[in-house]
Amino acid sequence: MSSEQYASSSSSGNPEDPASDGVSAELARMETDSSQEQDAGSSSQASGTNLSEVTRGAWMGSSVSQYEIDWLYRSRRIPEGVSCRIPGDEIEPVLEPGERVVFLAHFERGFGLPVSSFFRDFLDFYKLQPHHLPGNAIFYLSCYVTFMEAYIGIRPTRETFARFFALRINSVQGVDIPAPKPPVQCGSCIIGSRQASPFFKFSGLESCRLWQGTFFYVKNTGAADLIDLPPFDPAPPTKTNWSYNPKESHNETNRIIRFMKQRMKDTDLCSDDIIRTFISRRVLPLKRRAHKMSEMYGPGDPTKITGLPLSKKDVVLKARQICQTSMPEDWEWGLRPFSSTNPPTQEAKDRFPRIESDKRGRCRKRGLDKRIREWQCSAARAGADSALRVACSWYPELDLDALTGVREGAETDLDPILTAKRQDRAYRIAEYAEMRTFIPPPHGVQDYLDEEEDEAEEEPLDDAGAGDAPPEAPAA
C-alpha cells in the first residue's frame, strides 16, 4: 500500500485470531529501555547532535502492516469513523492535513481511540505528544486509571496522578555525546513512581526497543472528533508542569491514600490485581468509554473490545507481553475489582461522593443493553434461518446435521473474490429474514451471561475473537 492510500477495516485477515498474541510478543521487544536514562533539558540543536543518526529513541520509519490495521478495527481499538494511513518510506512522520500520529505499541498497552478525557487532559497539562511517551508510560497510565475506576470507583484526576508519579526526561546516551545530552526524539518522557509514593509498584519491560517503528497516521472521516489528540509537534517536551505535586493539599487524594492503605492491610490487593483487571475485562483504560470499570457488567458491555473471555493462562500470557510480573497461571484475586455485581461499598461511597456523581452522563443502562443484545442474537438466528431456507429449497438432500460450523479452508473464505460474492449473496438473502419477531435461543443455548466474565467458569480458548492479536501475514 502506498503512502497516499488509506487503510480500511477490511476483512482480509482471519476473523478469529489465536489468544496468544503473536504481535504482542513482538511489540514486547519494541519499547525504549529506560533503566539507564538521565535528565536533560536542552534541545538537539544546543548539543549539536543529529538525533536522526542516533538509533535509540530516534525515528526509524514504520513497519506497520495492513493486517495490524485491520486488527485495530476489529478489536474496536479504532472506530469506523477514523481512517488509517500506513507510512511509506519516510523515516520521520510526514502528515497530511488533519492527521495525527499514533503507535501500534501503545494500542497493546491500554490506548484506544477516541482517547479518554483523562488522557487528553494529561497531554494538555504536561504539554506532551503521544510520541513523547514510550510503551511503559502508556502501561503505567493504564494501571493508574484501572486502580482509580475499578478499586476506588471514581474517574482519575491529574492531582492524584501527580501525587503518585513523577515525569523526567529520557536523554540520548553515548560517551561521545557532549553534556547536556538532548532528549531522544521518541520516548523522551519517562513516567516513574515518585519518591516515597504509596502507590503500587509496576515494572515495565526493560528490553523493549524499536517501539517507535510502529507509528502510523489516523484521521477523522466525519465532523465528529473520534481521535481527540493534539496536532502533531515533533519538538521535544518543554517540561511544562513536570514539577507539579499537590502533596497533602488535595483532600480527595489524601482520602484515596488512606483508603488504599486500609485495603492493602485488610486484603491481599496487589499490583497484579490491577494488571489483570484491565486485561481480563478486555477494556482499554485510556480510551473514551461510556462508563467506569466499576460499572462494567459482562460480555455485552459496550466498553469491551470483545465479549469473549480469557482463561487465566491467557491473562498471564498477555500480562507478560507488556510488563514484568511473576503472576502464576493459576492466579486468584487478591481483591476483586468493582463491577455492577460487585459495586463499591457504602463506606467507599461515603468517602468518595464522586462514585455516584460520575455515573451521570452517557452510561447505558444494564437492562436496556441486555435487551438489545438479545434482539441482536434473535436477528442473527433469523438471518441464519433465511440462508438455510434458500439452501434447502434448492438442495433438498442437504444434510443439515453436517452443518455444525464453518469448514476450515473453504474456498469462499480463502479466495477474496469468492468471499465478496458470498457476502453479496448473503446480504441480499438477509432481506427475507423475519426481523420483527423475537426468536428465543434453542434449548441448551445461552446468548447472554449476566455475570462478570471473571466470575464465570473459565475455559481455555482455542480461538480468540476480535480483541486479540492481528493475524500474521501469509508467507510470500
334 and 396 in one domain?
A: no
pLDDT (0 to 100) of residue 391: 85
Residue 405 located in a structural domain: yes
pLDDT tens string, the chain, 476 residues long: the values are: 333 344 544 433 443 343 334 334 333 333 333 333 333 333 344 445 555 555 578 999 999 999 999 999 999 999 999 999 999 999 999 999 999 999 999 999 999 999 999 999 999 999 999 999 999 999 999 999 999 999 999 999 999 999 999 999 999 887 777 888 899 999 999 999 999 999 999 998 875 678 999 999 999 999 999 999 999 999 999 999 999 999 999 999 999 999 999 999 999 999 999 999 999 999 999 999 999 999 999 888 999 999 899 999 999 999 999 999 999 999 999 999 999 999 999 999 999 999 998 874 444 455 556 667 777 787 888 888 888 888 888 888 888 887 777 777 788 888 888 888 888 888 888 877 877 677 777 776 766 544 444 444 333 333 344 555 554 444 43
Contact 138, 189 (CB under 8 A): no
338, 370: one domain: no
Return the residue matching grid coordinates 535528565. Answer: 39
How many other C-beta atoms can be found within 10 angstroms of the C-beta atom of residue 310?
A: 25
Question: Is residue 457 situated within a structural domain?
Answer: no
pLDDT of residue 411: 83
CB of 65 closer than 8 Å to CB of 476: no
Q: Are residues 312 and 384 in the same domain?
A: no
Cell 502510523 sits on residue: 216
Q: What pLDDT sits at residue 98?
A: 97
User: How many distinct structural domains can be found in the chain?
Assistant: 2
CB 278 within 8 A of CB 293: yes
Closest CA to 280 of 326, 324, 331, 341: 331
- Please check whether residue 476 lies inside any domain of the structure: no
CA–CA gap between residue 119 and residue 117 (Å, rounded): 6
347 occurs within a structural domain: no
Q: Do 234 and 164 fall into the same domain?
A: yes
User: Would you state the pLDDT for residue 222?
Assistant: 93
461, amino acid identity: L
Contacts of 154 by beta carbon, 8 Å cutoff, 6+ apart: 148, 292, 352, 354, 355, 358
In this structure, is residue 351 part of a structural domain? no
Cell numbers placing 72: 485495530
Q: Do 229 and 333 belong together in one domain?
A: yes
Same domain, 134 and 257: yes
Distance CA 105, CA 265 (A): 35
Domain termination residue (choose one: 307, 342, 377)? 342
Domain limits at 391?
A: 366-451
Whether 37 and 184 share a structural domain: yes
Quick one: 306 and 382 in the same domain? no
Quick check: helix, strand or coil at residue 333? coil
Which grid cell is 426? Answer: 448473503
What is the DSSP secondary structure assignment for residue 292, as one 8-state letter?
A: -
pLDDT at 19: 39
What's residue 475's pLDDT?
43
Residues 239 and 202 in one domain: yes
Do 93 and 87 touch, CB atoms closer than 8 A? Answer: yes
If one counts every other C-beta atom within 10 angstroms of the C-beta of residue 103, the result is: 26
The residue among 16, 14, 6 whose CA lies nearest residue 462 is 16
Strands 82-85 and 215-220, bridge-based pairing: antiparallel
Is residue 193 classed as helix, strand or coil in its secondary structure? strand
Q: Is 86 domain-assigned?
A: yes
Q: What is the pLDDT of residue 7?
A: 56
Count of Cβ atoms closer than 10 Å to residue 429 Cβ = 16
Strands, sheet with 82-85, edge to edge from the N-terminal-most edge strand: 6-7, 82-85, 215-220, 100-103
Kindly report the backbone phi and psi dihedral angles of residue 45, in degrees, each rounded to the nearest multiple of 5, phi listed first.
Answer: -65, -40
Check residue 371 and give its pLDDT. Answer: 66
Residue 412 is predicted with a pLDDT of: 82
Within-domain flag for 81: yes
Q: Which three cell numbers stand for residue 366?
A: 444494564
Contact by Cβ (8 Å): 134, 108? no
81 with 177, same domain? yes
In a domain, 421, yes or no: yes
* Helices and strands (H and E) in the chain: how many: 15, 8
Q: What is the pLDDT of residue 257?
A: 97
Q: What is the pLDDT of residues 338-386, one digit of tens each?
A: 999 999 999 999 999 999 988 744 444 555 566 677 777 878 888 888 8
Contact 341, 273 (CB under 8 A): no
What is the tens place of the pLDDT at every residue in 174-227? 777 788 889 999 999 999 999 999 999 999 887 567 899 999 999 999 999 999
Single-letter code of the amino acid located at 97: P
> In terms of domains, do 69 and 15 share one?
yes
Alpha helices in 6-114 (DSSP H): 22-27, 44-47, 66-74, 104-107
Q: Is 152 left (phi over 0), alpha (psi -120 to 50) or beta?
A: alpha
Listed in sequence order, the residues at least 6 apart from 92 whose beta carbon sits closer than 8 Å to its beta carbon are 52, 59, 185, 234
Query: Does the global pTM surpass 0.75?
Result: no
Q: Residues 355, 255: contact at Cβ < 8 Å? A: no
The percentage of residues in the chain with a pLDDT greater than 90, rounded to a whole number, is 57
Residues 254 and 383 occupy one common structural domain = no
